[in-house]
Amino acid sequence: MYWWIKKISRLQRIAVGIFVSTASFFACTATNPIKQAHTEEKQFDIPAFFQQEIQHLSETKKEISKTVAKDSSAETKKILIQDWEKELSAFSSIDLNKTAYIGHINKDSSDHLVKLTLDDPTADISAVHIRYDEHNNPSGILIFKKINNLLYQTTESLSYQKDKGYKIEKQQDVWLLGSNHYTIEGKF
């Protein structure tokens, strides 16, 4: 009987080894189609676009008319922006090529306008519209963001027009504290 237990345990080890090898093989082959299904065309590189704009605006050193508003009070000043990277960080931080967005972006193109919408309700970006000029260069970007959780709800629109200006509008509803509306607008 002892020899039977040795054979069973040896057979069991072989069976477990075959099972693990087979499971590993199928696990590896099962992940490849997922990766292949999620590899899509690269989306418009928003951070690179804004790095070029930051470089251009830093070199020109023009004064802008900047308006900052909270709810009904607003203040406008003519200023010289020293740090364009910080000023446009809300725009340059948007990256449509993040792994979280792969497979969730729907693209619709029409006359010099590309509309990208995200079908993932948990994504912080809901849509991006990119306008192109007659030479097929990007001339304007409109970004719609949203965050919704138990404590607050925020909707934000970021608009940038090359050589004209930018605008950031934010509506924030905080539980127990109420609503606030913020606007930052810069005109070149």
Q: Between these two residues, 44 and 10, which has the higher pLDDT value?
A: 44
118 and 172 belong to one structural domain: yes
Give residue 9's pLDDT band: very low, low, confident or very high (50, 70, 90): low
- Could you tell me if 32 and 111 lie in one domain? no
Residue type, 114: V
Range of the domain at 170: 42-187
pTM score > 0.95 for this model? Answer: no
Q: Are residues 124 and 158 in the same domain?
A: yes
Nearest Cα residue to 159 out of 112, 127, 121: 127
Work out whether the CA dihedral 109, 142, 151, 178 comes out positive or negative: negative
Compute the distance between CA of residue 63 and CA of residue 82 in angstroms, rounded to an integer.
Answer: 10
**Average pLDDT taken over every residue of the chain:** 85
Cα–Cα distance measured from residue 101 to residue 41, given in angstroms and rounded to the nearest whole number: 12
**Are 109 and 168 in the same domain?**
yes
d(CA 147, CA 153): 6
Torsion of Cα atoms, 11 then 15 then 16 then 17, to 10°: 100
Q: What radius of gyration, in Å, describes the C-alpha atoms of the chain?
A: 26
Is residue 14 predicted with pLDDT exceeding 90?
A: no
CA 139 centroid distance within chain: 19
Q: Are residues 29 and 49 in the same domain?
A: no
Backbone torsion region of residue 60, taken as left when φ is above 0, otherwise alpha when ψ lies between -120 and 50, otherwise beta: alpha
Q: Do 185 and 67 contact (CB within 8 A), yes or no?
A: yes
Domain count, the chain: 2
Same domain, 26 and 119: no
User: What pLDDT digit, counting tens, does each position of 95-148 carry?
Assistant: 999 998 989 999 999 989 999 999 998 899 999 999 999 999 999 999 999 998
86 and 103 share one domain: yes
